[in-house]
Amino acid sequence: MKCPFCKGPTTQVVDTRESEDGDSIRRRRRCLSCDKRFTTFETVELRMPQVVKQNGMRSEFDEDKLRTSFKRALHKRPVSAELVDAAIDHVTQKLHALGEREVGSRQVGEMVMKELLKLDKVAYIRFASVYKSFQDVGDFTEAVEEVRKSPARKAADRGGKPAGKQSVKQPGKQPVKQQN
Ligand SMILES: [Zn+2]
């Protein structure tokens, strides 16, 4: 590591200590050119990979977005918040474990589907049916909103005719009271 004072190329580690919580290592260094001392910290890098959409757009991984996707898919389903949290942890841990700087949005979606499949079949189908055609968790969130609103909206578009109820009226079904 270069000296921050004189930019000398060679420094010597004179002391190494682990932090109390064990999360970082502190090194005391001495510059061999100017003899000044400075400290460096070494920590584990646990950065989430960037999410790359199908169209090549990149965005920061957004845990809130992920949570929203789970919530929407599990809307009114009998799944505890605890289990949802655990599922979100699984996904983020898997992403960490990849150790990649980038991950495809499709891959994130597949991870979400795996978790939903374990949690609730209905939520899984909700997510899968919408997600498959979007391949992006963010778009999915909006799409589910659409799906939830759509039955009422479709009926309205058709002029409010409740499809199915019309053809049921059959005169033959009236009680026949002809007795001879
Ligand atoms: Zn120096």
Q: Is the alpha carbon torsion for 143, 94, 49, 55 positive or negative?
A: negative
Q: Which residues contact 119 (CB under 8 A, 6 or more apart)?
A: 74, 79, 83, 84, 87
pLDDT tens-digit series, residues 97-145: 888 889 998 899 889 989 998 999 889 888 887 776 655 556 666 656 6
Where are the domains positioned within the chain? 11-43, 50-156
Residue whose entry in the numeric block shows the structure tokens 């000398």:
8
Residue 145 CA to its chain's centroid (Å): 17
CA of 2 to the centre of ligand 1 (A): 8
Instruction: State the distance from the centre of ligand 1 to the C-alpha of 39, rounded, in angstroms.
Output: 13
Q: Closest Cα to residue 109, out of 82, 134, 84, 143? A: 134
Calculate how far, in angstroms, residue 9's C-alpha sits from the geometric centre of ligand 1.
Answer: 8
Summarize pLDDT for 44-94 with one digit per residue, the tens: 767 788 999 888 899 988 889 899 999 999 999 999 999 999 999 999 999
pTM: 0.53
Q: What pLDDT shows up at residue 12?
A: 93
Count Cα neighbours of 164 within 13 Å in the Cβ-side half-sphere.
1
- For residue 149, which of 136, 130, 174, 170 has the smallest C-alpha distance? 130
Q: Provide the sign of the torsion angle of the four alpha carbons 125, 114, 136, 90, taken in this order.
A: positive
| pLDDT for the residue numbered 77 | 93
Distance 30 CA to ligand 1 centre (A): 8
CA of 44 to the centre of ligand 1 (A): 27
- Arithmetic mean of pLDDT over the chain: 79
Query: Rounded to the nearest whole angstrom, what is the distance from the C-alpha of residue 3 to the centroid of ligand 1?
Result: 5
Q: How far is the CA of 45 from the centre of ligand 1 (A)?
A: 27
* CA–CA separation, 169 and 68 (whole Å): 44
